[in-house]
Amino acid sequence: MKDCITLAHGSGGKAYRELVERVFAPAFQNEYLAPLTDAAVCPGSGRIALTTDGYVVTPLFFPGGDIGRLAVSGTVNDLAVSGAIPRYLTVGMVLETGLPVETLQRVVRSMADTAAEAGVQIVTGDTKVVEAGGCSGIYLTTAGVGLFPEGMEIPPQRPEAGDAIVTSGRIGSHGMAVMAARHSLAFDPAIESDVRPMARAVRAVLDAGCIVRAMRDPTRGGVAGTLSEWAGTRLDITLEEEALPVRADVRDACAILGIDPLYVANEGVVLFSLPAKDAERAVAALRTQTGCEQAAVIGRVSDGRGSVFAKTRIGTFRRILPPSGEQLPRIC
């Protein structure tokens, strides 16, 4: 018989313990998880950052990543952009009966690898099993704790007029990779997601002495979503469309599918709003980091009325509205 998840794995009995010992414990191995008690007890002091997020992406595996890497990166990035140093993660899993244990193992290994890459530890978890049709393979919920070292400035998350907008790298890759995989769009080579933990890249900018007024990982809603929120009601943000770094395959896919990369989700990008004088230093610091080689200044912040504009290649302006609804391929 194929080695699959059954309702017994969720019962808390023998099958569950076997799953923990065979799949989870070896992958996530660390001193806080090892006792396998109800709560992990971890060191830390001062202010903490705490975040949580759910992951329901289909397909579970897509070029460049999978739901496990996505869950760890997403939570690490939420912590990192708060200015905290990500430390501990928890993971809750909802598994569908019939899921091959081998698939679960791949996801778990990917989570462990990504956690190691980000310098965080997965310290506790939970597993529930639902009947077939109750979820699509695996749903993950992660929570994360980050620490603010003594004396560290916490970014106010408030852009100011005169700031420059910096992207850590090329935009739109993750959303297009998932869309291509979900709709079997058969680009060749396949469009790869850039999903990755960005904690080290954020740290590089802070360590370079840049004053960071705001940072955000522009996931759902893309760059347009983040900038619209930043513009609020009293600022305008103007992008230089030609300065926006977009990978050539992503640019092509967006053109073919009629999608604006500004609205596409990212999972390995951080946007910064910082004083213009610090912008080039931030870009230089970012470019030393893996995945940030194309970091660039892409716009500026001014006093205004809450609008985002893009200056086009012909010198005109178009308005970037807040995102509404899911991005879908179009033909007209």
Of 1 and 248, which has the nearer Cβ to other proteins? 248
Q: d(Cα 95, Cα 90) in Å, to the nearest integer? A: 16
Q: Any contact of residue 59 with other proteins (CB under 8 A)?
A: no
**Out of 253, 275, 289, 298, the residue judged to bind other proteins by CB under 8 A:** 253
What is the sign of the dihedral through the CA atoms of 256, 259, 262 and 263? negative
Assigned token pair, 50? 């705490």
328 binds other proteins (CB under 8 A): yes
Q: Which one of 25-33, 47-55, 96-104, 321-329 is the stretch in contact with other proteins (CB under 8 A)?
A: 321-329
Spell out the residues 6+ positions from residue 231 whose beta carbon is closer than 8 angstroms to its own. 237, 301, 304, 306, 307, 308
Of 1, 3, 188, 233, which lies in the binding site for other proteins, with binding defined by CB under 8 A?
188
Decide whether 113 or 260 has the Cβ nearer to other proteins. Answer: 260
CB of 191 to other proteins, least distance (A): 7
Binding to other proteins in span 257-296, by CB under 8 A: 257-258
Instruction: Rule CB under 8 A: say whether 232 interacts with other proteins.
Output: no
Q: Any idea which residue has 């809450």 for tokens?
A: 306
129/257 with CB nearer other proteins: 257
Q: Is the dihedral of CA 284, 219, 308, 210 positive or negative?
A: negative
Structure tokens at 278: 């610090």
Give ∠ CA 296-241-298 in degrees, rounded to 5: 25
Is 330 a residue that touches other proteins (CB under 8 A)?
yes
- What is the token pair recorded at 177? 């990779």
Which spans of this chain sit near other proteins (rule: CB under 8 A)?
Answer: 183-189, 191, 247-253, 255-258, 307, 309, 312, 314-319, 321, 324-326, 328-332
